[in-house]
């Protein structure tokens, strides 16, 4: 064993130390270079990007909803407006116990108990600092009631907002329509960015069809927020934050409709307590003067928020107030189509102005014992075409229907606008139905059901069987009769108005193809017969038209609701009201210079001339200035 320890190698240790220092220096320089490089990238290369992101974290863009356009009638009277109102709002993060708070609000009658689960879900689905609207419009009594109780409800407050209001309520419910709260389906259909901050949208009528122009363009404002996304109060902001940008929203266009609210009021009065519809058109341009469906409902209930129980009550009402009978109701047109079929028969030679038939109260097809009855059991005696229209003789039209044929009926009735939508500027319009052989082949699966039978042509000639029309279609067809075949597309909007400049854009009338009956002599005779329906001693509606201060023309109609046996009769006073015949009437006036065409249907009204005709007369009187009653 050696007595001496090895001597340290200072040279090797020095080299090792220097190597480590150099390595550490290199690593330090590299790391410093990475840091400097990153700083250069952040401060120089990507400065603009991160500055914008920083600004985005500090400032939140909030949408400012536009003011919805107003709706006026033809004389500038407001049909739909925006009124200031107080909404009841809840901010979830400021409410200690949401369930308890909602329950106590329900006890005060400020919300419905059935709404509590929905509001609970809304409070948990979004940011807890964003308010939830509990009620869209409170009455003065409700505002006062809540104001007294306000200290008991932290996080719940009243906020001023604009709410849609319909001054005439039920009078315009089906024509103007209503707005309602945005639904999930609405959000899928609409542009989410354009509806930021908007709570309502048009649901029916003009409000829905013209949503794009009524809504307007959304604006924005910059709101300074903290790291949690909450708005920073103005008094605590830095000077740099005080100059937040904003862009004002552009309000929606105002609409001027062709509707006359006075005519709507008369229509409502005439149909009071009944189910039915009245539509009036200016035959010279297709403007809708009146469109009323009864019974109606208050559209303000939808605009201000309706509870599920209230909505269910409306839906389940057997009077169907939500159903727009004027454009969606499809009814057998009855004898109102006889003037149109008379023109078709003259045009194709199925009859002439001298042909006479003997009406004995019924008609049978050759080789058949089945009797197609006239509405007058004893018959009308010897009649020509003029008499058949004037007295509404069914037997005459039974006879000529065989020569007209169902396909010719289809061809000419469609020219008058039956069997197809009119194209009115509303949604939900029904097609109606004008049958033909081809239609029946496509409508039924069984071969035996696809055969068109002669008896079906017979009943189609008096507007029964498969034939269906809407009140709007009948009004449009009546306008076509008044204009001797000239047709215009029915429309409600007469003008759009820019609310900022006041500039109006008028909607020109849209011509449709004329009815292909060019012989004025045919028109003269058929229209003269319609005149005599109301203003001759033998007309079916003479009680309504005789002694009028102006000449008019019309045609009554009755549509059976159910079929009765061959020899069976029934007493209308003894059967259920819903099984009575529908009453229809079409008319236009003045006779020589038509300015209004009207179609009336009264469900289960029994008599077209007795029930529906006086209603049409009242509408024409009002429009032509002969109504002395106060509206």
Positions marked active-site: 335
Residues 6+ apart with CB under 8 A from 442: none
CA angle 277, 423, 319 (to 5 degrees): 25
Nearest to 372 by CA among 334, 337, 398: 398
298 neighbors 332 (Cβ within 8 angstroms) = no
- Give the residue ranges of DSSP H helices in 2-156: 10-40, 47-58, 98-107, 116-125, 140-149
Provide the CB-side half-sphere exposure for 618 (13 A, CA). Answer: 22
**Kind and range of the H or E run holding 61:** strand 59-64
Contact 345, 321 (CB under 8 A): no
User: Shortest CA distance to 589 belongs to which of 537, 535, 629, 513?
Assistant: 535
Residues 95, 152: contact at Cβ < 8 Å? no
State which H helix or E strand residue 256 sits in.
strand 254-257
H/E element, 325: helix 325-328
Nearest by Cα to 176 from 491, 492, 472: 492
Angle subtended by helix axes 471-482 and 520-535, to nearest 10 = 120
**Euclidean distance between CA atoms 35 and 328, whole angstroms:** 73
Whole-number CA gyration radius for the chain: 37
Could you tell me which residues come within 8 angstroms of residue 547 by beta carbon, excluding any fewer than 6 positions away? none
| SS3 per residue for 457-492 | HHHHCCCCCCCEECHHHHHHHHHHHHCCCCEECCEC
Residues pairing with 247 in the sheet: 220
Helix then strand count (H, E) for the chain reads 22, 23
Residue 210 phi/psi, 5-degree rounding, is -105, 25
Q: What is the torsion angle, in degrees rounded to the nearest 10, for the CA atoms of residue 433, residue 413, residue 585 and residue 519?
A: 180
Q: Which H, E and C letters describe 365-405, residue by residue?
A: CCCCCCCEECCCCCCCEEECHHHHHHCCCHHHHHHHHHHHC
Burial of 33 (0-12, 13-18, 19+ CB in 10 A): exposed
**CB-based contact 587:553 (threshold 8 Å):** yes
> H helices of 236-297, where?
261-270
């Amino acid at each position: 064993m050696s007595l001496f320890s090895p001597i340290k190698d200072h040279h090797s240790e020095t080299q090792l130390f220097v190597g480590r220092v150099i390595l550490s220096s290199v690593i330090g320089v590299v790391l410093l270079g990475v840091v400097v490089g990153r700083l250069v990238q952040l401060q120089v290369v990507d400065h603009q990007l991160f500055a914008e992101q920083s600004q985005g974290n500090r400032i939140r863009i909030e949408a400012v909803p536009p003011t919805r356009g107003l709706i006026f009638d033809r004389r500038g009277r407001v049909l739909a407006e925006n009124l200031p109102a107080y909404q009841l709002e809840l901010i979830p993060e400021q409410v200690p116990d949401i369930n308890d708070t909602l329950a106590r609000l329900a006890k005060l009658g400020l919300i419905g108990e059935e709404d509590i689960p929905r509001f609970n879900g809304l409070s948990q689905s979004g940011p807890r600092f964003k308010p939830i609207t509990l009620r869209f419009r409170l009455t003065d009594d409700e505002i006062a009631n809540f104001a007294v109780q306000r200290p008991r409800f932290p996080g719940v407050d009243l906020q001023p907002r604009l709410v849609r209001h319909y001054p005439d309520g039920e009078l315009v419910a089906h024509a103007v329509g209503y707005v309602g709260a945005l639904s999930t389906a609405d959000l899928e259909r609409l542009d989410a960015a354009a509806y930021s901050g908007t709570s309502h949208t048009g649901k029916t009528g003009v409000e829905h069809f013209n949503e794009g122009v009524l809504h307007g363009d959304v604006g924005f404002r910059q709101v300074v927020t903290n790291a949690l996304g909450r708005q920073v109060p103005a008094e605590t902001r830095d000077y740099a934050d005080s100059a937040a940008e904003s862009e004002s929203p552009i309000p929606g266009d105002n609409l001027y409709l062709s509707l006359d609210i006075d005519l709507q009021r008369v229509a409502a009065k005439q149909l009071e307590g009944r189910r039915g519809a009245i539509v009036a058109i200016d035959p010279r341009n297709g403007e809708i003067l009146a469109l009323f469906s009864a019974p109606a409902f208050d559209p303000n209930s939808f605009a201000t928020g309706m509870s599920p129980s209230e909505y269910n009550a409306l839906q389940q009402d057997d009077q169907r107030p939500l159903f727009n009978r004027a454009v969606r109701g499809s009814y057998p047109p009855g004898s109102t189509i006889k003037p149109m079929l008379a023109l078709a028969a003259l045009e194709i030679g199925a009859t002439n102005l001298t042909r006479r038939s003997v009406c004995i109260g019924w008609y049978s097809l050759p080789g058949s014992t089945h009797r197609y009855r006239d509405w007058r059991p004893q018959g009308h005696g010897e009649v020509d075409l003029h008499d058949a229209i004037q007295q509404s003789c069914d037997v005459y039209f039974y006879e000529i229907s065989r020569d007209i044929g169902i396909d010719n009926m289809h061809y000419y009735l469609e020219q008058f606008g039956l069997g197809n939508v009119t194209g009115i500027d509303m949604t939900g319009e029904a097609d109606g139905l004008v049958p033909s052989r081809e239609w029946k082949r496509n409508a039924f699966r069984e071969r035996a059901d696809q055969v068109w039978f002669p008896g079906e042509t017979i009943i189609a000639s008096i507007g029964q069987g498969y034939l269906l029309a809407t009140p709007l279609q009948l009004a449009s067809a009546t306008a076509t009769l008044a204009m001797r075949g000239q047709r215009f597309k029915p429309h409600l909007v007469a003008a759009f108005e820019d609310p900022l400049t006041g500039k109006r854009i008028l909607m020109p009338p849209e011509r449709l193809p004329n009815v292909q009956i060019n012989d004025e002599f045919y028109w003269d005779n058929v229209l003269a017969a319609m005149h005599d329906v109301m203003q001759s001693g033998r007309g079916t509606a003479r009680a309504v038209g005789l002694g009028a201060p102006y000449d008019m023309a019309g045609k009554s109609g009755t549509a059976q609701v159910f079929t009765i046996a061959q020899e069976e009769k029934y007493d209308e006073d003894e059967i259920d009201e819903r099984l009575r015949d529908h009453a229809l009437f079409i008319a236009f006036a003045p006779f020589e210079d038509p300015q209004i065409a009207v179609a009336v249907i009264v469900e289960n009204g029994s008599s077209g001339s007795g029930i529906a005709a006086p209603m049409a007369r009242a509408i024409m009187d009002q429009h032509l200035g002969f109504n002395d009653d106060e509206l």
